[in-house]
Structure 1
Amino acid sequence: MEGQEGPPRVCRDDAPKLLAALKEMKEGLDHVRGKVEALTRKVKKNQLPTSCGIGYLEAKHHLLLSYCQDIVYYLLRKAKGLSVDGHPVVRSLVEIRLFLEKIRPIDKKMEYQIQKLTNAADGAATQEKVLNAETKNKGRHQDDEDPLKYRPNPDMMDTKSDPAGQDNDGIYRPPKFMPATMDDDDKRLKQASRRDKALTRMATENPYIKEIIDDAADRPEEWKETAGDESREFTKYIRLREKQEKQEEELFTRAPLTKRDKQTEKRMRTQLHGLRGLTDGFDLGMNMLLDGDKDNDVGSREPHVKSGGRRKHQKGGNKRKRH
């Protein structure tokens, strides 16, 4: 009994979803049937040539037709109460839907070309109808031709029509075109990826965040010879140099240095030596404090020696003057 009550129970559970899908499908079929019948009549009357068309549209029509067939078969299995888990029709529906989603950018790019060809075909058909009507009228009234029709007709003159919204003040105003944007998923994905890369680069350049990342990854602590935090320019220069060295190792060739690269390297070296020299004054001050007593002793003795020498020199000078 339980096995017999299984399929009806499945039907009762999926009945609301099935009814909603059938209602939506019926509305779509009514809309499509009206268009297909009109196109079929034109094709049967040779009013709508189907050869030498756009191959992309033909492939898309085949995809849509296969998608509709799979949907009908899917609804048929659901209506019979059969399971669709793991059925090939589900995989086929997913693949076709994926194809249709992936070709959306192509539809946007080919929309102008398709519209242009459609307008050209409509214009040619309209022009052909006008020519046929004129030919019939000409054959019908060629005997009773009226010579007054060749007189000037002011109504046939081309008049300049003012565009809508233009002021009659004699000032030229260029037309304003609204910028058209293409909402592509790829563009948004690229922007999101570019934004994530920028945030990652900013995070890695920050010394505090870099220290946190190193602690989380259990990396060994790095000791540097520079004093203080490195500047952003210096970090960028180091990163470019590492990338260049990696390329040189892969290609087994030395990359030539430009004049600008040499100037940048010289400036970085100057900044690096300047940071290293921050501790030189501290060492010199400590040495002066430690050797202060010795310097005082030497300084106290030197003036006496110099003064005695000066006196002897002065006496010797006076003696020379006496002679």
Structure 2
Amino acid sequence: MEMVSSEDTARALDLLGDIKNKVGDAVTHFQNLLKKVENGSISTAKGISFLEVKYHLLLDYLMNMTFVMCHKVNGRSIKGDPSIERLVEIRTVLEKMRPIDQKLKYQIDKLIKTAMTGAVGEDDPLRFKANPSNLTSKLEGDGESGESGGEGEGEGEGKAETSKVYKPPKLAAMHYEGDETQKERLERQTEKTRKRALSSSIMQDLRREYDDGPEEVWDDADLHRAKIDRAGKERTTYEEKYFMRMSVAKKEKNEAKRLRTMSGLDTLTKFGDIRALTGGQETQEEDDMQRRKKRKVSEMFIVILSNEGNC
């Protein structure tokens, strides 16, 4: 058996003295609280039942723990003691109550603060919730104004007109992405880029070259070129029907020629972005730049077609 040093003995005596003093203070405090509860000064009927259960469990836990400590101090065996099973049971219940305690922490602190100060804080977010009484008062006011008829007709005319006008809420349906994580958003963007790369012209050419099936032939004219060709056919039909030549401004000719040349060069050098198939990723800036470029070309074609239609 190891010898106990004088230092440990002195420290143990100090701790025992401290425990004795604190136990005396606690007993005095508990006796005062017990007297107030018995006299009815402190009413716990309207309290939170969750806290009451929690405090009863803590008190029962301390009582069983004290009983076990008394057995150990007196040198008795605690093997098979029912207080051990009771301690395990109470400890399990307290651990299960911890998440509920965390959720009720804000409400409990708010109730304690309200009970101590007697008023709700100005920064309390629950103060800014909807108040149905305001809506009820407005409806009652409208009904009273309608029944009163001629009283205050000149003053209430403007208010009545504004209240009768229905203004629909300016809300648009949008896809909710609040539960979507950064990883899921990146995977969705990568899948979208991969599908766009698979439908590019270079992948279609490779598929036609190495595919054993029959080759599919279709008209590869885009929408803008189809509109230009349709406008040209309508002009030719009009000229042949009425035997007259329609005048075309030099500026319109040059603009149409330039757009046809740009469209042809674009189809020659446009192979599609296939970085998604090789491990690369398209940045958001490049995607926005492509969208702005397509929008600008579309607006230019629309202006040309509108000018040709006016002629």
Question: Normalising by the residue count of structure 1, what TM-score does the alignment of the two structures yield?
Answer: 0.32
Greater Rg, structure 1 or structure 2? 1
Higher relative contact order (CA 8 A, sep 6+): 2
